[in-house]
Structure 1
Amino acid sequence: MPPPPPPPYTQEEDVDVDIEGDDEDTGKEQGLAWEEFKRSWDVLQEDEEGSLQSVVATIKQQQIRRRLLRDTDTIQRGIIRFLFLVLDLSNAMLEKDLRPSRLDLTLTLAESFIGEYFDQNPISQLGIIITRDGVAEKLTELSGNPMEHIRALKEKKNKETAGEPSLQNALETARSSLSHVPTHGSREVLVLCGSLTTCDPGNIFDTIDRFKREKIRCSVIGLTAEVQVCRTIAKETNGTYGVVLNEPHYKDLLFELVTPPAVTSSAEAASLVAMGFPRRITERTPSMCMCHKKPVLGGYVCPQCSAKVCELPTDCDVCGMALVASPHLARSYHHLFPVKNFVEVKWDASGADTARCFGCRSSFETPPQSGALAQRASDRFRCPECKHLFCLECDLFVHEALHNCPGCAQR
């Protein structure tokens, strides 16, 4: 039986085909929304008078919100930390939803985190573990030298991605190294995970139980969606878990972990720790150092066994004593007694003491009379202890970098 004849040709069908083709071409030319390049200068908008005061006010509001979210309670913290940074180098890190890519942004922020970590925790140590293709590799051992870790991250072979990560292997590698650290130190693991899957050789919940028994705190930062096993790890080990929304949020989540965590009630009681303050020596001829086993000029001499080391802080390889300098203890001390939050002064306050900032001596803005500008926050903040006034920039500098109030120090 012959096949039925084709339907008669009509011009309407031809028009429909052309319209669909135009839609597809238009979509290809426009591209997807998340693939478009964002220009930050397009966000700035002038008001009716051609001024950018509203934009500046918005930025100040964000800074004030960040200042108010800061925790200044006097609580017990572990200032001697042993932290392993776990980096996901799977194929999922090649995605470009975070510019320029997940991998490039993670490595850049990891270098900044390492520098800030040792600046705020000079008597602590850090190590790096990478996981890819179902295995975990210890990139650097626990040490107090930030340049060693940054140098390892910049090597080309340590930036290559492959396969899927293994969360259990990475955690077990960190646990085996942290099991030998002193009990007075805080044991922590920070995982930067960009994959939704993990290739584990066994039951990861057994690893979580070992973490709980050995009191190792594990925090996770996810670059995609929320993963239940990551949240379980963070919850069971008293860590934190967050999912990145954008590039600035990624940095905020990461740098929140620079501050030492609070000591939990289940932690062991604090004990005295023996520390030595070595003296610096200069030599005309090189001598053997105990940290690198190489002849070097100069260094520090351990006060207990007279062994020479190259840099501080470190642990003496001969007697095991912790060797530090007095500035290192001073920079760790401020975490235990942080500066109290400054109180915002209302616009209607007046007086001679409100003319200039006590920190930078810059003049305060004139209080607005009416209009939209009168609704924005004041730029004056008062220390609750010494009663001096500071601008917003000095407030942030005092709490984030200086960690001492100039007015209180002057008294």
Structure 2
Amino acid sequence: MSDSDDEYIAHASDHDLDEILEDDDDVDDDLDARPAASSASGPRRRRPAAGSSAAAATASAAAAAVAAQSSRDAKKKKKGRGGAEWEVSRTWESLVESADGTISATVEGLLEAGKRKRLLRDTTPLQRGIIRHLILVLDLSSAMAEKDLRPTRYLLTLRYAQEFVLEFFEQNPISQLGVLGMRDGLAVRISDMSGNPTDHIMAIQALRPKDPKGMPSLQNTLEMARGALFHTPTHGTREVLAIFGALLSSDPGDIHQTINTLVADKIRVSIIGLAAQVAICGEICARTNNGDDSGYGVVLNEQHFRELFMNVTTPPATTVAPTPTTATATATATKTSHAATSSLLMMGFPSLTLSATTTPTLCACHSKPSRTGYLCSRCGAKVCTLPTSCPCCGLTLILSTHLARSYHHLFPLMNWVEVSWRRAARKGSASCFACGLAFPRVPKQFSGGGEQVGGGGGEEQGGGEGGGEGEVAKGPAGISVSGRYECPVCECHFCIDCDVFAHEVVHNCPGCQSGVVQQQQQQQQQLNGNENGNGVADEMDTG
């Protein structure tokens, strides 16, 4: 009886070994599951003798060793292939101690890398629609009650939506915005299309006491957004930005027909997913953006959510429809091209006026009494705020500063390049040109022969491509080893904070602007009689 038992146990152990060697990914599951299944379904056997127990223990130890080795090999293979971003995050491997034993330098480098990552974008001048008409769609369904985004998806979306409204009108002051919601399978109008950010922010704040409920409906919301954008002028863009937190859409009809109508009306749709990628969302973004599905993104964390939100503040580039192949499509494209031909747009630039009398007058936009306002340049009607359209004659009323703030999208500020140590030694920059912050000192090995470096075009234009022979770049990619960033035009050096401020706020280079001012002052001095030059000549004659 013991011999048969020994044979049975040995046979079972060999079988387990074969299964382990065949499948490295499910080793632990197989080892845990197979003995339990055998004991549950197999015939009951008598307890083996002491020799049989020793053999079983030896076989089990061998199987465990093989399983552990196979698991380690599988992890190595998986690491070599490169796993998904959410699977393994070895943040401790990027921390390197400095000479003083701290990691402050590494932390500062990571923060600086995050700033530069947001700045390094395509600065090619493109034709963009600076007069935009955007519908913001918020998901108010029960899926927004999840807490994977702190504090909840719902509250975080409302907070980012308010920040988005402010940033949108800061970057696009002559544009219009409206807000819709998805709740209980219906589309809810939160605020009408207008150019006043205060109205939208107050409407979004009113949603905080309410709880998300029901199912979302993309079709109903897109149809309502299409109706709101239907009467907008053709010289502006028509866009929809949807925040979608669910994994399904409760639609009353065929959503593909709605997509066809959006394409026919030239409405661009961008979607930010909070849960996972949904096939219909990708199809909507691709169909409405001429095959470009980059308008659909799924958030990874709170910071990524905000980045996807704020990326929409940049006006989209004007695209050209693909060449038609049939005669009917050619005729339709010809009519569309004639209708979309660029033309001049009449605008009014009124100034703020104060009533000469103490009696307030009613404004044409809200019928509220006030003494101050802007008078329409065409009909003289008074409006409260700008930019807006005249309620009487329909003339677009803006300020010159609004038009100037929208102009930087057409000609963006060029990205500043990283400065190597050799370039820093050659220029001799000790502090930031804008804020005066002191730069790190140039090491001795680079300060001695700075003038003899002939590193080629990249060295002459800022050394951002790699710094010179003998220099090894340290830190994350895109970070200057010297802490300096150089404008390719004026060749002035700036710190990382001034780099961020110039590209995200003022959209102008302080060095280029000051150089223009100096040139204007020199030209003015030359036109005024060149008095300084005559004085120098007299001094040279008498000396």
Q: TM-score, normalised by structure 1?
A: 0.86
**Cα displacement (A) at 1:122:** 0.3
**Cα displacement (A) at 1:51:** 4.7
Q: Which runs of 5+ in 2 are unaligned?
A: 1-93, 322-336, 446-471, 517-543
Instruction: Tell me the residue number matched to 2:314.
Output: 259
1:181 and 2:255 equivalent?
Answer: no
Aligned-partner residue type, residue 62 of structure 1: G
CA contact (8 A) 2:348 2:397 kept: yes
CA contact (8 A) 1:368 1:374 kept: no
Instruction: Tell me the residue number matched to 1:28.
Output: none
Q: Deviations over 1:16-65 (max 9, x none)?
A: xxxxxxxxxxxxxxxxxxxxxxxxxxx99975623511111121122223
From 469, 474, 477, the equivalent of 1:375 is: 474
CA contact (8 A) 1:45 1:55 kept: no
Instruction: Tell me the residue number matched to 2:24.
Output: none
1:244 and 2:299 equivalent?
Answer: yes
CA contact (8 A) 2:119 2:500 kept: yes
**Cα displacement (A) at 1:92:** 0.3
Q: Deviations over 1:136-181 (max 9, x none)?
A: 0111111011010000011147743121011111000010010100
Instruction: Tell me the residue number matched to 2:414.
Output: 340
Please give the residue correspondences for 1:207-286 in structure 2 after superposition, counting only pairs within 5 Å: 207-238=258-289, 240-266=295-321, 268-283=340-355, 284-286=358-360
Aligned-partner residue type, residue 276 of structure 1: G
Distance 1:198 1:71, change over 3 A: same
Instruction: Tell me the residue number matched to 1:360.
Output: 435
**Cα displacement (A) at 1:125:** 0.7
How many pairs were matched up?
A: 369
SS state at 2:107 partner: helix
1:87 and 2:138 equivalent?
Answer: yes
Instruction: Tell me the residue number matched to 1:295.
Output: 369
Q: RMSD across aligned C-alpha pairs, in angstroms?
A: 2.2
Aligned-partner residue type, residue 202 of structure 2: R
**Cα displacement (A) at 1:369:** 7.3
CA contact (8 A) 1:152 1:158 kept: no
CA distance in 2, matches of 1:341, 1:262: 19
CA distance in 1, matches of 2:164, 2:117: 22
CA distance in 2, matches of 1:197, 1:251: 23
From 322, 325, 330, the equivalent of 2:404 is: 330
SS state at 1:354 partner: coil
**Cα displacement (A) at 1:304:** 0.2
Q: Which runs of 4+ in 1 moved over 3 A?
A: 43-48, 156-159, 367-370
CA distance in 2, matches of 1:216, 1:195: 23
1:385 and 2:502 equivalent?
Answer: no
Q: Deviations over 1:58-105 (max 9, x none)?
A: 21122223322x121100000000000000000000000000000011
**Cα displacement (A) at 1:381:** 1.2
Instruction: Tell me the residue number matched to 2:531.
Output: none
Report which stretch shifted further, 374-383 or 183-192. Answer: 374-383
CA distance in 1, matches of 2:490, 2:102: 40
Aligned-partner residue type, residue 370 of structure 2: V
CA distance in 2, matches of 1:402, 1:133: 43
Aligned-partner residue type, residue 166 of structure 2: G
Instruction: Tell me the residue number matched to 2:391.
Output: 317
Distance 1:352 1:324, change over 3 A: same
1:406 and 2:510 equivalent?
Answer: yes
Distance 1:116 1:44, change over 3 A: farther
Q: Deviations over 1:263-295 (max 9, x none)?
A: 111372322111001122112211111101222
Report which stretch shifted further, 254-263 or 389-398. Answer: 389-398
**Cα displacement (A) at 1:366:** 2.3
Instruction: Tell me the residue number matched to 2:82.
Output: none
**Cα displacement (A) at 1:343:** 1.4
**Cα displacement (A) at 1:296:** 2.2
Report which stretch shifted further, 260-269 or 317-326. Answer: 260-269
**Cα displacement (A) at 1:132:** 0.3
Instruction: Tell me the residue number matched to 1:104.
Output: 155
CA distance in 1, matches of 2:168, 2:226: 21
Aligned-partner residue type, residue 122 of structure 1: P
CA distance in 2, matches of 1:83, 1:44: 43
CA contact (8 A) 1:398 1:405 kept: yes
From 88, 99, 114, the equivalent of 1:62 is: 114
Aligned-partner residue type, residue 322 of structure 1: T
CA distance in 1, matches of 2:176, 2:444: 54
Q: Deviations over 1:173-201 (max 9, x none)?
A: 01001010000001000000101111111
Aligned-partner residue type, residue 234 of structure 2: T
From 128, 136, 143, the equivalent of 1:77 is: 128
CA distance in 1, matches of 2:440, 2:210: 49
Distance 1:158 1:74, change over 3 A: farther
Report which stretch shifted further, 158-167 or 302-311. Answer: 158-167
From 145, 149, 168, the equivalent of 1:117 is: 168
CA distance in 2, matches of 1:374, 1:256: 30
Q: Deviations over 1:218-275 (max 9, x none)?
A: 0000000000000000001116000000000000111111100101113723221110
Larger Rg: 2
SS state at 1:327 partner: helix
CA distance in 1, matches of 2:497, 2:312: 23
**Cα displacement (A) at 1:389:** 1.1
Distance 1:65 1:297, change over 3 A: same
CA distance in 2, matches of 1:126, 1:78: 15
CA distance in 1, matches of 2:284, 2:373: 42
CA distance in 2, matches of 1:362, 1:172: 54
